[in-house]
């Protein structure tokens, strides 16, 4: 099989992707600067044949000896709390980091896959969002650092495809959860689970009517790998169209955790998108992909991971 470089390979999604590529028989070079990822996420892979973990900041440069078949660019702070605290790093990895990752793919004649995001749609005016929708993003708002970095990354990817003939793909990833999410990354699911397991108040932003469509990490990885192995350029949405309000999500997590937490309402963050739902007809048509894990089943796995790591609850 092939030799794959995964930037951000020690992050939440990157670590699952590395594992899957190894399972498929690929050699995997995992690059990470451990800014928001951690070596602990890939500890269990270190013994596996064909896996190498390399501490590297892809905004400095990327050098890889020998042939490379695939470059998967997953490095970036990705939760709102992270990119609000690391705005310059987020912009750099989406711009300079993407240029470096594309340069590597060009040099090695490799297929390049960009981890983009539903955030490119911003606070969408079209619902659900097809890939043809150009989005509604505030470039000067606090979330602009992530949204615009990823939009720049998409434009750069297409430029390398058009002008350098690099074989590229763009996946737009919708909200994803699963084991190895950081309990303190500030996102709704880790927050709600942590709060429910501690019987502390569950903090719902605004009136909780804003929606997200949440997929389990195994479905995401399956979609990404199918896109990688296809010749398709994307952009392609990979997400679970099942849409829930944040109040509904909080209530379901409280029930699944058998928690006595009360639900409290906190201010909505600035530019917080009101609705989010992928149109996945392209992934279905091209890859025969659709999500398999429903919300309850997925949440049970994520909750079990949090329960099994009591130390993560101390954070
Ligand atoms: N949210 C919430 N309580 C929290 C954290 C987040 O109600 O403790 C809300 C947040 O305002 C947003 C939704 O949950 O409307 C999803 O936020 P998250 O940070 O998980 O992801 P993103 O905004 O990137 O989709």
pLDDT of residue 310: 73
pTM of structure: 0.97
Which residue's C-alpha comes closest to atom 21 of ligand 1?
187
For the question of residue 146 being annotated catalytic, the response is yes
Q: Which stretches of 192-314 are assigned E, i.e. beta strand?
A: 202-205, 211-213, 215-216, 236-238, 243-245, 263-266
- Cα(150)–Cα(108) distance, integer angstroms: 23
Which residue's C-alpha comes closest to atom 3 of ligand 1?
204
Fold assignment, 3-176+215-238: Rossmann fold (3.40.50)
For the chain, which residues make up each domain, given as ranges? Answer: 3-176+215-238, 179-212+242-276+293-313
pLDDT above 80: residue 1: no
Q: pLDDT tens digit string along 5-52?
A: 999 999 999 999 999 999 999 999 999 999 999 999 999 999 999 999
Q: Which atom of ligand 1 has the smallest separation from the CA of 210?
A: 15
Residues with CB under 6 A from ligand 1: 79-80, 175, 187-188, 191, 203-205, 210, 212, 246, 268-269, 272
Q: pLDDT tens digit string along 156-179?
A: 999 999 999 999 999 999 999 999
- Band (pLDDT 50/70/90 cuts) for residue 293 is very high
The whole-chain average pLDDT of the chain stands at 96
pLDDT of residue 312: 67
Per-residue tokens: 219: 């479905």
Residue 218 Cα to ligand 1 middle (Å): 21
pLDDT of residue 315: 52
Query: DSSP character for 267?
Result: P
Place of tokens 């470039």: 139
Residue 187 Cα to ligand 1 middle (Å): 5
Q: Which position among 83, 121, 146, 160 bears the catalytic label?
A: 146
Residue 155 Cα to ligand 1 middle (Å): 27
Q: pLDDT tens digit string along 82-122?
A: 989 999 999 999 999 999 999 999 999 999 999 999 999 99
Say yes or no: domain 179-212+242-276+293-313 is CATH 3.40.50.12280.
no
- Intrachain domains 3-176+215-238 and 179-212+242-276+293-313 with the same fold: no
């Amino acid at each position: 099989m092939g030799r794959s470089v995964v930037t951000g390979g020690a992050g939440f999604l990157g670590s699952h992707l590395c594992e899957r590529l190894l399972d498929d028989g690929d050699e995997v070079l995992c690059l990470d600067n451990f800014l928001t990822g951690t070596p602990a996420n890939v500890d269990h892979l270190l013994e596996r044949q064909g896996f190498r973990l390399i501490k590297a900041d892809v905004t400095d440069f990327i050098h890889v000896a020998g042939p490379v078949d695939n470059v998967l660019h997953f490095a970036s702070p990705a939760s709102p709390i992270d990119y609000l605290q690391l705005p310059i790093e987020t912009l750099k990895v989406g711009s300079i980091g993407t240029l470096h990752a594309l340069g590597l793919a060009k040099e090695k004649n490799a297929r390049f896959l960009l981890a983009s995001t539903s955030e490119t749609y911003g606070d969408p005016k079209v619902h659900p969002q097809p890939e043809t929708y150009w989005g509604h993003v505030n470039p000067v708002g606090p979330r602009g650092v992530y949204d615009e970095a990823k939009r720049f990354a998409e434009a750069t990817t297409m430029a390398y495809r058009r002008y350098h003939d690099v074989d590229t793909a763009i996946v737009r990833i919708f909200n994803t959860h699963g084991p190895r999410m950081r309990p303190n990354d500030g996102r709704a699911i880790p927050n709600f689970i942590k709060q429910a397991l501690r019987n502390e108040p569950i903090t719902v932003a605004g009136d909780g009517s804003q929606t997200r469509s949440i997929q389990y990490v195994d479905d995401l990885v399956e979609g990404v790998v199918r896109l990688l192995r296809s010749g398709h350029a994307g952009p392609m949405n990979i997400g679970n169209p099942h849409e829930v309000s944040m109040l509904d999500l909080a209530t379901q997590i409280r029930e699944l955790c058998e928690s006595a937490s009360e639900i409290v309402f906190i201010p909505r963050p600035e530019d917080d998108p009101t609705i989010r739902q992928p149109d996945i007809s392209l992934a279905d048509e091209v890859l025969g992909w659709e999500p398999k894990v429903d919300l309850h089943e997925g949440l049970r796995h994520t909750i079990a991971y949090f329960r099994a790591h009591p130390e993560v609850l101390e954070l």
